[in-house]
Amino acid sequence: MSMGLMQGLLTLLLMVLFIGIVVWAYSGRQKKRFDEASMLPFAEDEGTQGKRRTGEKNHD
């Protein structure tokens, strides 16, 4: 096997892998899961909610 053939096969394999990841990420079945994950930075911990409402500081 020549080096050019191996590089071509590797390029083809990586391109197919990339297209597969893109199709998976944009598939409709993943939308709900990704929407929930996108809201995680805005979710508050249960233990800090009461302290923030009363103005107490969290000393954890």
Q: What is the mean pLDDT of residues 48-60?
A: 60
- Is 54 within the bounds of a domain? no
- Please indicate, yes or no, if residue 56 is contained in any of the structural domains: no
Q: What is the per-residue pLDDT for 28?
A: 86
Closest to 37 (Cα-Cα) out of 54, 25, 49, 46: 25
Structural domain that includes position 41: 3-47
For 4-44, what is each residue's pLDDT tens digit? 999 999 999 999 999 999 999 888 888 889 899 999 999 88
Question: Does residue 53 form part of some domain?
Answer: no
Q: What is the pLDDT of residue 40?
A: 93
Instruction: Return the higher-pLDDT residue of 47 and 45.
Output: 45
Structural domain tally of the chain?
Answer: 1
- Is 13 part of a structural domain of the chain? yes
pLDDT exceeds cutoff 80 at 54:
no
Assess if residue 37 is contained within a domain: yes
Backbone phi, psi, residue 9, to 5°:
-65, -40
Q: Would 14 be classed as within a structural domain? A: yes
Residues 11, 15: Cα–Cα separation, whole Å: 6
Asked if pLDDT for residue 49 goes beyond 80, the answer is: no
